[in-house]
């Protein structure tokens, strides 16, 4: 994976981040979701590199081979605001003061927070397979509670760790052939690490508390995304089942937003990397 990319650890303050990066063109930061690592982009990143971009693929704090932070009572050590600050610092230390950002799944919440908290740094925003946390919670009904029960189970102290670590492979089922052997190996190492599992759960605990509060504060203050934005959603996921027209939700958060469906299941960067790379290229060029 990632032939021609540097693979480094970069100190960003509270933690060290594992990051792969390459290129000398316009920079784009790719943020993975749960429970993946930066390796989820291994079929997309080389295509973007070939098309003239500088591509940066970190493991978020608490995920993959990046460091974990000390757990705080309000879980803010894993807030999207803390992770976004990590990534702004990372990009600056790699020489990129302004950059585009694309985030998938939990990473889309970090990408949104980057655009809201650091508007002078983010040139373009891509959000993939998600709506803002506060919007999802405001629309939570019996279907959401049934299909996305893990949002709430993961917020329970201790029990999720015990359930997952009893048999991580059974909890996080994945197909190594679909993912690619090396990507799968990184994913499997992460889900078998107790500290990483705890940190990934803290992502959800922060989501139901401080992250929601931060988004509600943005809405109250009238803050929206200032840069052009793109929403990508998987046609075989449940975005439309849950939200009808999820792009309409994003239009209330960004003044300039367009949408592109991707023929794929949830893990679109692994399942249909050509379509993802093409959509990103068309938007970022």
In the structure encoding, which two tokens stand for residue 172, read together?
Answer: 């996080």
Does residue 214 carry a catalytic annotation? Answer: no
Does residue 105 carry a catalytic annotation? Answer: yes
In the chain, how many H helices and how many E strands? 16, 8
Distance of CA 110 to the CA centre of its chain: 6
Q: How far apart are CA 74 and CA 206, in angstroms?
A: 7
pLDDT tens, residue by residue, 229-269: 999 999 999 999 999 999 999 999 999 999 999 999 999 99
Quote the pLDDT of residue 237.
Answer: 94
In the structure encoding, which two tokens stand for residue 72, read together?
Answer: 């705080």
Residue 236 CB: number of other CB atoms within 10 A?
Answer: 12
**Residues 60 and 31 sit within 8 Å (Cβ to Cβ):** yes
Q: Which CATH superfamily is domain 6-284 in?
A: Alpha/Beta hydrolase fold, catalytic domain (3.40.50.1820)
**Residues 14 and 78 sit within 8 Å (Cβ to Cβ):** no
Of the residues 105, 203, 211, 237, only one is catalytic, namely 105
Average pLDDT, rounded, for the chain: 97
pLDDT tier for residue 179 given thresholds of 50, 70 and 90: very high
* Distance set, CA 46 to CA 43, 73, 94, 125, 148 (Å): 6, 40, 18, 20, 32
Q: What's the whole-model pTM score?
A: 0.97
Of the residues 34, 118, 192, 266, only one is catalytic, namely 266
Q: How far apart are CA 104 and CA 217, in angstroms?
A: 23
pLDDT tens, residue by residue, 200-240: 999 999 999 999 999 999 999 999 999 999 999 999 999 99
């Amino acid at each position: 994976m990632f032939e021609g990319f540097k693979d480094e650890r970069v100190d960003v303050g509270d933690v060290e981040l594992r990051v792969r990066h390459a290129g000398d063109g316009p920079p784009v930061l790719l943020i993975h979701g749960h429970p993946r690592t930066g390796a989820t982009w291994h079929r997309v990143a080389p295509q973007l590199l070939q098309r003239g971009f500088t591509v940066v693929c970190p493991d978020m704090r608490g995920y993959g081979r990046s460091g974990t932070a000390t757990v705080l009572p309000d879980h803010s050590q894993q807030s999207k605001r803390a992770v976004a600050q990590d990534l702004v610092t990372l990009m600056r230390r790699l020489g990129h003061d302004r950059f585009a950002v694309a985030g998938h799944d939990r990473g889309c919440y970090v990408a949104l927070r980057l655009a809201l908290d650091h508007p002078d740094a983010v040139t373009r925003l891509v959000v993939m397979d998600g709506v803002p946390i506060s919007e999802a919670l405001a629309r939570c009904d019996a279907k959401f509670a049934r299909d996305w029960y893990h949002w709430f189970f993961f917020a329970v102290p201790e029990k999720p760790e015990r359930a997952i670590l009893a048999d991580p492979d059974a909890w996080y089922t994945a197909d190594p052939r679909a993912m690619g052997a090396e990507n799968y190996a990184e994913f499997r190492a992460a889900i078998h690490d107790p500290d990483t599992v705890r940190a990934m759960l803290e992502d959800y605990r922060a989501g139901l508390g401080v992250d929601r509060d931060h988004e509600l504060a943005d809405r109250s203050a009238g803050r929206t995304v200032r840069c052009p934005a793109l929403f990508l959603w998987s046609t075989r996921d449940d975005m439309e089942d849950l939200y009808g027209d999820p792009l309409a939700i994003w239009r209330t958060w960004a003044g300039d937003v367009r949408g592109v469906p991707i023929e794929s299941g949830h893990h679109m960067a692994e399942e249909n990397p050509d379509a993802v790379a093409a959509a990103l290229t068309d938007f970022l060029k």
